[in-house]
């Protein structure tokens, strides 16, 4: 039987280019979350390491089993009896040497320190905004290939990371499989954040009648990037119930009532109303007689 409420603590970080500082921040956040009675701490993308300088990152990023940030999250979860969603951190992929690409990896950790589920970011941020250089995340990262639905005491949770947000079919599949939470840890750029962040989060919540939990990076980072912030929690009706703004790191603890999911899905049963269809391309016909002018 699933619990109908969860007290969740969401973090907004300005992650550094070294594991140690991020581990210290996470340890403090976990202690504060537990002190506030939270049952889960949700962290943003790149929470363990934020370093796009390849030569440095190659010496920092290790296999998942050896990653210091993941190990620290597991220890903190067990120490505080807290669920921790790690957001994401880079871990080594199967390629080695000069051709090595990392995996943008997320874990959900139970209160006994065990990893319940792991997810590798599927959709990589390869975009080119007018007047700016291409981002090219796929040059540094290898895409994942598996969507992951994680079991929790409150119901299934769909795992995703940042740019995945722009692919609604992923979240639809999660919702159809019973997801009550949709995790979207992110490190949005300022231009795309200002234009699209809130509207996309609200759309995913409304479309699927689920809570969207979207912890984010904020501010200027050691490697030169600037991230948008505005970590948000959106309820199943599309209302933003938490927003940490764009001014700096912080935490917010929110009680989520899971009865809101059933209420939203009962009133607008789009998960049941969807229909299969064929795509018909109506081309211009050339065999029709010309009309007199």
Query: Which of the residues are catalytic?
Result: 45, 121, 162
Q: Are 61 and 91 in contact (CB under 8 A)?
A: yes
Residues 84, 41: contact at Cβ < 8 Å?
yes
In angstroms, the CA 183 to CA 171 distance is: 10
Q: Which two tokens stand for residue 283?
A: 């081309």
Counting other chains too, the contacts that 267-273 makes at CB distance below 8 Å and 24 or more residues apart are 268/209, 270/207, 270/209, 271/175, 271/176, 271/208, 271/209
Radius of gyration of the chain (CA): 21
What separation in angstroms does the CA of 181 have from each of 67, 103, 135, 214? 26, 23, 29, 10
Give the Cα separation of 135 and 263 in Å (integer): 40
């Amino acid at each position: 039987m699933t619990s109908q409420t969860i007290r969740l603590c969401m973090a907004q970080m300005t992650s550094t280019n070294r594991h140690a500082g991020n581990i210290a921040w996470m340890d403090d956040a976990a202690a504060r979350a537990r002190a506030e009675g939270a049952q889960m701490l949700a962290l943003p993308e790149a929470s363990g390491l934020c370093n796009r300088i390849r030569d440095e990152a190659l010496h920092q990023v290790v296999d998942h089993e050896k990653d210091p940030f993941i190990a620290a999250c597991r220890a903190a979860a067990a120490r505080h009896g807290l669920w921790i969603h790690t957001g994401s951190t880079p871990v080594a992929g199967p390629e080695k040497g000069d051709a090595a690409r990392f995996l943008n990896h997320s874990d959900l950790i139970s209160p006994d320190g065990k990893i319940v589920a792991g997810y590798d970011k599927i959709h990589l941020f390869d975009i080119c905004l007018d007047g700016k250089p291409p981002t090219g995340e796929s040059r540094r990262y290898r895409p994942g290939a598996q969507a992951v639905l994680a079991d929790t005491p409150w119901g299934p949770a769909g795992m995703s990371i940042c740019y995945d947000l722009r692919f609604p079919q992923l979240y639809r599949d999660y919702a159809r499989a019973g997801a009550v939470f949709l995790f979207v840890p992110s490190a949005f750029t300022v231009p795309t954040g200002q234009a699209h962040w809130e509207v996309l989060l609200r759309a995913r919540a409304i479309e699927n009648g689920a809570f969207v939990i979207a912890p984010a990076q904020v501010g200027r980072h050691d490697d030169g990037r600037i991230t948008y912030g505005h970590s948000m929690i959106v309820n199943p009706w599309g209302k933003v119930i938490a927003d940490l703004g764009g001014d700096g790191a912080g935490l917010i603890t929110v009680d989520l009532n899971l009865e809101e999911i059933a209420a939203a899905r009962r009133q607008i049963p789009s998960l049941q109303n969807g229909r299969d269809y064929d795509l018909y391309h109506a081309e211009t016909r050339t065999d029709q007689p010309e009309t007199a002018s």
